[in-house]
């Protein structure tokens, strides 16, 4: 049961959105950020991040497959969710998410990965045996022409798909911020900057996640980490994080200057229930510390050894992931803790083994890593495997 202090109406006591609704924007943010990192190489020709291009795409897909599951767990009757496709409600942002999700999954992400891997898929369908051979044959979709001209067309179409995917990634995650920002009844959420803040925090969290995965997987494979690649990713991560923090501070200054009821919500959050998660975890530890460390690296990079830079990047990436999760927590949970009159507040106590408890949240957080493991086995993104595939004989229709 939740504890209540002060005066609250009955409909203000219960928190209808739990930790699973915190996970939902967090996971979709990782998807958007990972795709943006991939687009740096494909669209903007940042060759330094090429070692992470395919890994970023597979990471985005792994987390995208997991993205709707927190909502499914949260629904009392998840079997009814397909109804939104058959009876669309155009004025509901939540209902329209299904179409946004399918568009981004099938028309953008899966299609781009298929185009990028099509040559390797065809070659593996010819070289493997048994069940794997059948899987790869299905993945070819009947397209086995891997002539130079066909691959050139794949490259051109893939570039266009990536270009379309950038605004699609913004739309995928920006709409989550739009939902919160458009709720006028809650001064903690109601802000025109909310969608923009969500997008930039998503970008920085996705970039940090791919950087950590690249460094960790490269270490596990006993390969050498490309420091030029990691340094470049850290540079972009720093710039994006600066913009994200600036936008959050701009929103804060605007609330203070306007001095409406939203200012009372800030005072409420700072001095009561969210002081630790908002001030200590999100701002001090999760934002200011990594910003300071990344700034030091950017200014004095030549005087810092590779080992020290690797450790700084791992620490900063981890703190950024924690900070963005704390931000999602403070928005979703924090916005439900206080009464509209500010005369009272409630608490949120997360249970352990329920449908929306801690174990379910941990499982849904780790599940994308399982999806990623399967994708890495089927479609290895490593340069050494790509070189091996390149040596296999090409064939066409």
Task: Please write the tens of the pLDDT for every residue from 335-375.
Answer: 888 777 777 778 888 888 888 999 999 999 999 999 999 99
Residues 163, 240 contacting (CB under 8 angstroms)? no
Q: Average pLDDT of 104-112?
A: 91
- pLDDT at residue 384 tops 60: no
**Which of 259, 385, 277, 355 minimizes the C-alpha distance to 21?**
355
**What count of residues does the chain have?**
397
- pLDDT at residue 395 tops 60: no
- Residue 267: predicted pLDDT: 66
- Residue 369: predicted pLDDT: 96
Partner residues linked to 6 by β-bridges: 344
Residues 324, 283 contacting (CB under 8 angstroms)? no
Residues whose CB is less than 8 angstroms from the CB of residue 120 and which lie 6 or more positions away in sequence, other chains included = 379, 386, 389
Distance (Å, whole) CA 9 – CA 46: 54
Q: Average pLDDT of 296-306?
A: 94
Residues whose CB is less than 8 angstroms from the CB of residue 267 and which lie 6 or more positions away in sequence, other chains included = none
Distance (Å, whole) CA 320 – CA 201: 9
Task: Please write the tens of the pLDDT for every residue from 157-207.
Answer: 999 999 999 998 888 888 888 888 777 777 778 788 888 999 999 999 999
- pLDDT at residue 298 tops 80: yes
- Residue 48: predicted pLDDT: 95
- pLDDT at residue 386 tops 60: no
Bigger pLDDT: 56 or 88? 56
pTM above threshold 0.75: yes
Distance (Å, whole) CA 30 – CA 12: 31
Instruction: Give me the sign of the Cα torsion angle 301, 305, 306, 309.
Output: negative
DSSP state of 110: I
Q: Kindly report the average pLDDT of the chain as a whole number.
A: 87
DSSP state of 336: G
- Residue 265: predicted pLDDT: 66
Joined together, the tokens standing for residue 62 give: 């792994």
Q: Average pLDDT of 85-94?
A: 77
Distance (Å, whole) CA 328 – CA 21: 9
Q: Average pLDDT of 200-222?
A: 96
Distance (Å, whole) CA 200 – CA 243: 7
Distance (Å, whole) CA 81 – CA 98: 9
DSSP codes joined into one string, 161-188: HHHHHHHHHHHHHHHHHHHHHT-TT-TT
- pLDDT at residue 393 tops 50: no
- pLDDT at residue 116 tops 50: yes
Distance (Å, whole) CA 205 – CA 24: 14
- pLDDT at residue 245 tops 60: yes
């Amino acid at each position: 049961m939740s504890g209540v202090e002060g005066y609250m109406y009955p409909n203000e006591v219960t928190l209808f959105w739990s930790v699973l609704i915190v996970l939902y924007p967090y996971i979709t943010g990782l998807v958007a950020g990972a795709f943006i990192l991939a687009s740096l190489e494909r669209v903007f020709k940042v060759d330094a991040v090429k070692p992470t291009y395919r890994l970023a795409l597979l990471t985005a897909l792994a987390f995208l497959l997991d993205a709707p599951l927190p909502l499914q767990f949260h629904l009392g009757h998840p079997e009814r969710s397909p109804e939104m496709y058959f009876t669309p409600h155009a004025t509901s942002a939540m209902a329209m998410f299904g179409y946004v999700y399918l568009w981004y999954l099938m028309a953008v992400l899966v299609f781009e990965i298929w185009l990028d891997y099509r040559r390797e898929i065809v070659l593996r369908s010819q070289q493997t045996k048994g069940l794997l051979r059948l899987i790869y044959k299905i993945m070819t979709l009947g397209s086995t022409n891997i002539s130079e001209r066909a691959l050139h067309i794949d490259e051109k179409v893939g570039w266009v798909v990536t270009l379309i995917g950038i605004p699609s990634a913004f739309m995928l995650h920006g709409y989550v911020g739009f939902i919160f920002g458009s709720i006028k009844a809650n001064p903690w959420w109601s802000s025109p900057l909310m969608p923009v803040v969500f997008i930039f925090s998503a970008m920085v969290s996705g970039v940090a996640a791919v950087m950590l995965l690249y460094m960790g997987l490269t270490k596990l494979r006993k390969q050498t980490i490309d420091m030029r690649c990691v340094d470049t990713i850290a540079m972009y991560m720093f710039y994006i994080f600066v913009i994200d923090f600036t936008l959050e501070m701009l929103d804060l200054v605007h609330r203070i200057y306007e001095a409406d009821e939203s200012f009372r919500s800030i005072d409420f959050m700072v001095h009561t229930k969210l002081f630790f998660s908002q001030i200590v975890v999100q701002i001090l530890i999760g934002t200011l510390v990594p910003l300071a460390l990344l700034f030091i690296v950017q200014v004095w990079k030549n005087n810092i050894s590779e080992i020290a830079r690797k450790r700084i990047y791992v620490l900063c990436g981890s703190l950024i992931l924690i900070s963005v999760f704390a931000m999602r927590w403070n928005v979703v949970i924090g916005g439900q803790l206080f009464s509209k009159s500010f005369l009272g507040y409630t608490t949120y106590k997360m249970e352990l083994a329920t449908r929306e408890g801690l174990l379910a949240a941990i499982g849904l957080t780790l599940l994308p890593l399982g999806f990623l493991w399967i994708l890495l086995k089927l479609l290895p993104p490593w340069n050494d495997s790509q070189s091996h595939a390149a040596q296999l004989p090409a064939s066409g229709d």
